[in-house]
Amino acid sequence: MITKESLIGYIQKALPDAQIEVKDKTGMMEHFMIRVVSSLFEGKNLLDRNRVIYEALSEPLKTGRIHAVEIKTETPASAD
């Protein structure tokens, strides 16, 4: 199990400018929907954007604190 605040912290280390929304999809704090808006995604394709997030969350994913994650990534321009 992991808290929303911890998830946000992992992502903010990789993307300091990010605006992050985390939703617990099951109420068990292990399946999440994460929306990340960052200017650092500019010029990156969807796969590269998701790689950034998966890399940021590698530790809790490896230890099983996160079982599943749905990721939505956007730039500030596309989030409007």
pLDDT digit string (tens) for 27-49? 998 899 999 999 999 999 999 99
Q: Averaged over 10-19, what is the pLDDT? A: 97
- How confident is the prediction for the chain on average, in pLDDT? 95
Q: Averaged over 37-66, what is the pLDDT? A: 96
Structure confidence at residue 80 as a pLDDT band (50, 70, 90): low
Q: Where are the domains of the chain?
A: 4-79
Are 10 and 35 in contact by the 8 Å Cβ rule? The answer is: no
Task: Write down the CATH superfamily of domain 4-79.
Answer: BolA-like (3.30.300.90)
Stated as kind and residue range, the H or E segment containing 68 is: strand 68-74
Q: Averaged over 62-76, what is the pLDDT? A: 95
- According to the model, what pLDDT value does residue 77 have? 92
HSE at residue 54, side-chain half, CA atoms within 13 A, is: 10
What are the two backbone dihedrals, phi and then psi, of residue 22, each rounded to the nearest 5 degrees? -125, 130
